[in-house]
A and B are shown apart, each in its own frame.
Chain A
């Protein structure tokens, strides 16, 4: 087993300035604030302005994470996203160049809402293999660009944002070391979370894609059941690998899908709901950005403190899921991104 671990040494988040409240959604959709809050826990979300792309948020978050880590150089830039600026090329090289990191290895990770955890494993792998001594990992998504604004089920859930971490080579036992990964997938259920058009399947088929096929689609009931089951299983697998008990977890940081899923998983694990880090109220489901944004928010509020033990668990389209553990290091405190 490798003795070189990826150690968290910088963290930052970025939200677009435009806020969409539940009241604003209720003006164009058949819904209201109370219905959205009781079903999802979400009060508002942030969305990009016309012309603003995923890389714009990623560059802001990445630049701040580098500053927090007091560095202007990394060996690799990894962007986890489902909403790249373009189908080709990857978004990471552009982000790297805009951050003055031309020459660094740069690639995207596609694991939908599990992208950040897969990205952490990828970054840890680059470091363990000696390919990189430092990695900038950014989870960034702009779901507002793929969700049909008139699709009530999804329009109330999703928001845009980016969260970034800097990882450096270090020792597995030091605070900030990420490890004990559990990653998994089940492509037999690929049709539960999709954007049907825009890829080779649709492009090699004659005819123009339908309005529905151009947009994000999710089969909510089935996704809910898979999400709760897989996240709990993955969390248990990771804890077992590390020899941790559930009581050893100070903070459970799940992908911020919706509050009911988070509480269901916490209840299943036997974890008090108060130990569940929640950020979904202020930003909705921000895809691959949700875990680093939740971490940045918790660190800014000082609810997560050095020495605290964290369990990160995500679930997303693919289907994909993953978990890992880390002990919170001493980091510069990120700026508060949202008001309570």
Chain B
């Protein structure tokens, strides 16, 4: 089953600086060492691959991957 969380993991694993052993739903972007340009890259790929706009300014260091999946799901259902 392809979940939004699973799709997000695919996106993040394509990036250079995501340590695989730290990727879990409770992990925050800060814990994953996501820097400002990576937030732009994640934002671009969410829009490109999932068809949902999440601004890079919304990808704050305290946001967890689970929260982000929820945010994408909410926007998917309200479009």
Interface of A toward B, CB cutoff 8 Å: 38-39, 41, 220-221, 224-225, 228-229, 259-260, 263-264, 267-268
Contacts and interface: CB of A to CB of B under 8 A. Distances in A.
B48 A221 contact: no
Q: Interface majority SS on A: helix, strand, loop or mixed?
A: helix
Contacts of A263: 14
A211 B60 CA distance: 31
B16 A220 contact: no
15 contacts: A39-B16, A41-B16, A220-B37, A221-B37, A221-B39, A225-B43, A225-B44, A228-B44, A260-B16, A260-B38, A263-B14, A264-B41, A264-B44, A267-B14, A267-B45
Contacts of A220: 36-37
Given A39-B35, A268-B48, A224 B17 contact: no
B69 to A, nearest CB: 21
A112 B41 CA distance: 23
A39 B14 contact: no
B73 interface: no
Contacts of A38: 16-17
Interface residues of B, number: 16
Contacts of B16: 38-39, 41, 259-260
Contacts of B44: 225, 228-229, 264
B40 A225 contact: yes
B48 A224 contact: no
Given A264-B44, A268-B48, A224 B37 contact: yes
B56 interface: yes
A224 B41 contact: yes
A40 B40 CA distance: 14
A154 B41 CA distance: 18
Interface string B1-44: 00000000000001111000000000000000001111111011
A260 B14 contact: no
A225 B40 CA distance: 7
Given A221-B56, A268-B48, A39 B17 contact: yes
Contacts of A267: 14, 45
Contact of A221 (B14, B15, B40, B45): B40
Nearest to A228: B44
Interface in B41-61: 41, 43-45, 48, 56
Contacts of A225: 40, 43-44, 56
B46 to A, nearest CB: 13
A39 B37 CA distance: 8
Contacts of B56: 221, 225
Contacts of B41: 224, 228, 260, 264
